[in-house]
Amino acid sequence: MSRFWNSRTRELSPYIPGEQPQNRAYIKLNTNENPYPPSPRVTEAIARAAGGCGERLRLYPDPACRELREAVAERWDVKPEQVFAGNGSDEILAFAFAAFFETGSVAAGVADGVASRHNAAALFPDITYSFYPVYARLWGVPYECPRLQDDFSIDHTGFLTPCGGVVFPNPNAPTGMAMPREHVLAIARYHAERNAVVIVDEAYVDFACCASGADAALPLSVIDSINDHSNLLVVRTFSKSASLAGLRAGFAVGSEELVEGLCRIRDSFNSYPVDRLALAGAAAAVRDGAYYEETTRKIIATRERTAAALVEKGYTALPSRANFLFVRHPALTGAEFFTALREAGILVRHFNMGSGDSRSASRIKDFVRVSIGTDADMDAFLAVCAQEVV
């Protein structure tokens, strides 16, 4: 605690990312990175963007991010003016909290104000992406956390209440479970009448189809619904399905007025947000859909096989539509399971906190999140899980 920090800095509890070890070779199943390399077109595009001997790196990137926005617009059949580009989805989410959710000082008088909201608190699930409460505290946004159901699914009716706005991942993290598309749109319709923004974080949506079963062909993304819901903002990342976690690029799609709101925050913070190489690489990834459809299918098949093997061994594995599994050991605590795997050279993620209170944390303390790696990675994981000591 430094005497130079202001009160906001002193009160923050920053987000803690997954471990990135430097001193030992582990099988890394802890940060939801893609086990396959990006498309060759991506590295080719990055080399072209740098220029011979990197001479183009002396120039600022395009502040309007036109190439990436146009690629996204063409891929998802929207207008470039409906696309916002940023340094990964985390930055875009931070901007969205600042642009669309009221701070505590303003929220107290909002009930009769601009948005006609009876409750200015933002809503997100009690067990969800742990960056949301960090953003809320950073910007001074009051928030409430509707409880997940006993099976860890999101009860969409808990979000059908007047509020200052809504944000949730679909599929959710760290559970991997997905909310039906019609429930997402019901939330958006409800809040459109109350001038509140609904932010859907689709970081994992490309993994949402099942390898088999009734839900296999059902779409989950709601990008195609933004023209029918002016309050709906869909946020995507290139870190997961596009194998570009090291590049730091993401985008959001929504109405032009929502995109303009994000731009106002961005341009009050950093008017050259995405670097030249990231813009080129991300645009190339968008345009090589066939490559990524193949790698995504591999990950989904590996996920389904791994989940079935765990259940057969007596483990609990929640029904995931993401590139990870939320797993509970039949006998060990979550901390014991995490430690045993780490000692065996396998890194997973153990969460002992929720977005809400200690009750939500206690519900997931015996689970670990296991990213889906290659088939060889998951075979090694399953071999350790099969040992009696684990």
Q: Using one digit for the tens of pLDDT, what is the confidence trace for 8-21?
A: 888 888 877 777 77
Strands (E), 185-240: 198-201, 232-237
> Cβ of 180: how many Cβ atoms within 10 Å?
15
The CATH number fitting domain 40-288, selected from 3.40.50.2300, 3.40.640.10, 3.40.462.20, 3.40.50.720: 3.40.640.10
State the burial class of residue 155 (Cβ atoms within 10 Å of its Cβ: 0-12, 13-18, 19+): middle
> Rounded to an integer, what distance in angstroms lies between the CA atom of residue 302 and that of residue 323?
9
Range(s) within the chain of domains with CATH label 3.40.640.10:
40-288
**What pLDDT sits at residue 12?**
83
The DSSP symbol for 173 reads T
**In the chain, which residues fall in CATH 3.90.1150.10?**
20-38+290-385
pLDDT digits (tens, 9 = 90+) for 222-268: 999 999 999 999 999 999 999 999 999 999 999 999 999 999 999 99
Q: Is the pLDDT of residue 358 over 70?
A: no
pLDDT value of residue 273: 82
CA distance 183 to 181: 5
Burial of 380 (0-12, 13-18, 19+ CB in 10 A): middle
Asked whether the predicted pLDDT for residue 288 surpasses 60, the reply is yes
- Fold classification of 20-38+290-385 (topology level): Aspartate Aminotransferase, domain 1 (3.90.1150)
What's the pTM?
0.92
Q: What b/e sequence results for 57-72 when a residue is b if at least 16 CB atoms lie within 10 Å of its CB, and e otherwise?
A: eeeebeeebebbbebb
CB 306 within 8 A of CB 378: yes
Neighbours of 178 (CB within 10 A): 26
